[in-house]
Chains A and B, each alone.
Chain A
Amino acid sequence: MNTKKIISSMLCVAIMSMSMLISGCQNGSDEKVSIVIGNWPSETDVATVKYYNEYKRMMNEKYPDIEIVPDTTQISTKEFAAMASSGQLPNLFVSSYTELPLAAQSGFALDITDYCKEYQYTTNLNPLLVDKVSYDERVYGIPSTAYSLGLACNRKMFETAGLVNEDGSLQYPATYDELAQTAVKIKDATGQAGFSFPTMNNQGGWIFTSLAWSYGVDFMEQDSDGKWQATFDSPECVEALQYIKDLKWKYDVLPDNSFVDVTEQRKLFASDQAAMYLMHVPERMLVKTYSMDKDDICFGRVPAGPEGRYSLMGGNVYMISPNSTPEQVDAVFKWLDIIGESPNVSDYMKENLRLEFEADNNENVPVMKTVPFSIWINDERMQLENELRSEYANVPDVNFSDYSSFEDVIIQEEEPVATQELYSILDAGIQEVLTDENADCEAIVNRMANDFQVNHLDKLS
């Protein structure tokens, strides 16, 4: 009797599963393509979700055979690998440029070289960004934002320290030595940290490479056998690390807490507890998350070291899940066209870009009149963005003019191999000099270079 019951239950389950499968097949026969769009704004971000819903409405209007499925998961670096491994990545997702090589190498992002050519993305992309979205000469991403590193400065704190010119521009430090002096003045005047430097989550290493380049540091080179050698065991690197150490122990201009990541830096900056940090514009979170007054956010060029002003590119990049079908990839490109993240100008795009700028204005997020460079360089697209920026710019030019002048700034690509591993090692070195007054910079640099060589470069296949 029991056996009969079990068999009946199993049959029921089988029949139900079959019906579900059949109904699934029927949906498929409608030929409606469904795409999951990641990083969809959450309901709490009212302004952004409003224009995203408008994107969706327009998409339905123009392409009724494409279904947009919003996914509000904000994919941070640390969730990325887990989601990718379990096949849960949305069809379209956003990550940072620095993650792209790792994602491509791990098979977590789709090779979209052919699609980019077909949809005219490659020819219209700013040449400065081609390498940023490529891995092994194949394209894996579409730029969403792209900005070079600059020096974020808190106007209110500069004013308290008397570091504002008559025309309203800030007295930006031109060199790293000047930065230390400026930070001392601000600390003396406000009692708060003059500068903050990240030390965690590989962000310290990321920023340090830029500073070190300006001191003349070469981190690695490939020899004739194709093997990589760590080359930063040099007096220049010791000097750059000593500079970080001096900021803490000689000038005493850093926050008390030495465990600082970018989130913490933003908090400190927005709450007038640190006057400067190295970051790329527009830093919308300062306003959206920490309610900072947009007029207090100013940006200067990255300071110069003995070898010049070296900056690196930051920002976000769209990637497509490797599980996507060709129909889904096609739908994703149509979506990007609609939302304005493409070179292909249409009426929909014009309307949507306008919606975005309006939303930024309503939320008091800074909109700069000019940016150092555009992602898309075809005339029609550039003209559209420039017109909208002129119309919606809401911050005084003087707040960003030094950054936008871009004068004598050298943009350098991130280091080519084992980049995150290098950043992690540099993070540890930075933490050591900031927590140990007696740390020996030369020994630390020596150890870091050796660790990088033995633990990572020697193990590259």
Chain B
Amino acid sequence: MKTKLENQKLSIKRLKPMVMKNIAGWLMLLPTVVFAYFIIWRPIVMGFYQSLFDMQGSTMLEFVGLENYKDIITDTNFTKVLFNTFKYTGFSLLVGFLPPVIVAILLNEVRHIRAFFKTAIYLPVVLPGIAVYMLWYYLYLPGESGLLNTILASFGIDPQPWLQDAGTSILWIVITMTWQSFGGSTLMYLAALQGINRELYEAAEIDGAGMRKRLRYIMLPEIYPIALLLFIRQIIGVFQVMEQPLAMTGGGPNGASTSLALLAYKYAFEYFQFDKAMATGVITFIILVMITGVYLVLEKKMND
């Protein structure tokens, strides 16, 4: 015991000069650490911890181990919700991953009024989310009164159910998400493209490289690191989709657009079962860590 105490004193003694030497640096770091503790680390740890308890409202009653996880996984709708969540991610990669790349390349080639195009493309990003979801909700209204159906009617096409078709509701939501957020990704790709040394283009042109070769040998390799980053961010972001189905379909029809995050929301705010909401959040977290891990390993193997 005495030895332990002495060791502690020794560590503090060694630590003190190190801290005092860089006190300004440590102090500058402090707000970030405090912020990260309260906003990121503590909620994650508390989420794990509380998911192991039976809770009454937000009060922890008794330790139940993995009982909440068992309840969620044995729920007859869990598989469907999990599949829906992967469907969101899959559709978003299919529909939403390439447009920002293409638009950024096109913008990079534009010589005139580029600022206007950049602003126009970025505009949906600054719109309030709920306004965007409501706008698209009304665009997608079924029947003859829906805006998209009105356009279709002028071409003699029958009204479509849009969000109310259980088979495609997720696709329509993903299109809304893509419209809202692709401006941000586009600007990041554009920044990467514009960071390319102009001499490379000039050299390529002298060598007779057309647009296709410039794209293949100059642009794509340059945007590859940012594409990798955005790919993972997109998987992580879309896997946690909640606001869009909540506002546009309520998770319907018949649960066809319910995601894991929306399920957690329903547990917490419709049934007041915070324990199960926490467990659902942890399940989402674990799946995301696994997907990201697998992706990074594969990516490393490919590069090697």
- Please list the residues of chain A having a beta carbon within 8 angstroms of any beta carbon in chain B: 2-3, 6, 77-78, 80-82, 84-85, 102-103, 105-108, 199-202, 255-259, 261, 420-421, 424, 427-429, 431-432, 434-436, 450-451, 454-455, 459, 461
Contact = CB atoms under 8 A, between A and B. Distances in A.
A201 B266 CA distance: 10
A15 B56 CA distance: 39
Interface stretch (B125-133, B159-167, B190-198): B159-167
B13 to A, nearest CB: 17
Say which size band chain B's interface belongs to: 35 or more
Nearest to A202: B270
A77 B75 CA distance: 24
A435 B271 contact: no
A258 B144 CA distance: 14
B58 A424 contact: no
14 contacts: A2-B23, A6-B27, A81-B57, A105-B56, A106-B58, A200-B252, A256-B142, A256-B144, A261-B250, A431-B252, A435-B165, A435-B254, A454-B74, A455-B77
Interface string B135-150: 0000001111110000
B71 A259 contact: no
A429 B77 contact: no
A65 B210 CA distance: 84
Contact of A428 (B58, B141, B161, B252): B252
B59 interface: yes
B223 interface: no
Contacts of A82: 269
Interface string B253-285: 111000000000010111110100000000000
Given A107-B59, A450-B76, A451-B76, A432 B253 contact: yes
Contacts of A103: 272
B254 A429 contact: yes
Interface in B218-271: 249-250, 252-255, 266, 268-271
Contacts of A428: 252-255
B76 A200 contact: no
Contact of B20 (A3, A107, A256, A435): A3
Top 7 closest pairs, chain A to chain B, by CB = A256-B143, A106-B57, A85-B58, A432-B254, A431-B253, A435-B253, A106-B272
Contacts of A107: 56-57, 59
B206 interface: no
A420 B268 CA distance: 12
A85 B166 contact: no
B16 to A, nearest CB: 11
Contacts of A436: 166
B249 A259 contact: yes
A201 B249 CA distance: 10
Given A256-B143, A258-B164, 6 more contacts: A255-B143, A258-B142, A259-B249, A428-B252, A431-B253, A455-B76
A201 B247 CA distance: 11
A264 B229 CA distance: 41
A85 B270 contact: no
Given A256-B143, A258-B142, A259-B163, A78 B253 contact: no
A357 B50 CA distance: 49
* Main DSSP-derived SS at the A contact region: helix
Contact of B76 (A420, A431, A454): A454
Nearest to B20: A3
B161 A435 contact: yes
A440 to B, nearest CB: 13
Contacts of A459: 71
A201 B270 CA distance: 9
Contacts of B163: 259
B266 A424 contact: yes
B24 interface: yes
A77 B268 CA distance: 11
A434 B27 CA distance: 61
A342 to B, nearest CB: 28
A108 B268 CA distance: 13
B252 A81 contact: no
Interface of B: 20, 23-24, 27, 54, 56-59, 71, 74-77, 141-146, 159, 161, 163-166, 249-250, 252-255, 266, 268-272, 274
A220 to B, nearest CB: 17
A140 to B, nearest CB: 13
B289 to A, nearest CB: 26
A81 B56 CA distance: 11
Nearest to B64: A461
Contact of A257 (B56, B142, B166): B142
A431 B269 CA distance: 21
A257 B141 contact: yes
The listed residue with most B CB atoms (<10 A of its CB), out of A85, A102, A257, A424, is A257
A8 B255 CA distance: 59
Nearest to B142: A256
B271 A420 contact: yes
Nearest to B54: A461
B61 to A, nearest CB: 10
B23 A259 contact: no
A2 B270 CA distance: 52
Nearest to A421: B271
B172 to A, nearest CB: 13
A435 B255 contact: no
A442 to B, nearest CB: 16
Contacts of A85: 57-58, 274
A78 B164 contact: no
Contacts of A450: 76
A84 B252 contact: no
B91 to A, nearest CB: 19
Contacts of B77: 451, 455
Contacts of A255: 143
A108 B57 contact: yes
Nearest to B67: A459
B146 to A, nearest CB: 7
B145 to A, nearest CB: 6
Nearest to B59: A107
Contacts of B58: 84-85, 106
B245 to A, nearest CB: 11
Given A435-B165, A455-B75, A455-B77, A81 B24 contact: no
A432 B256 CA distance: 10
B57 A256 contact: no
Contacts of B254: 428-429, 431-432, 435
A102 B274 CA distance: 12
Contacts of A259: 163-164, 249-250, 252-253
B252 to A, nearest CB: 5
A85 to B, nearest CB: 4
Contacts of B143: 255-257
A257 B139 CA distance: 12
A106 B56 contact: yes
A108 B56 CA distance: 9
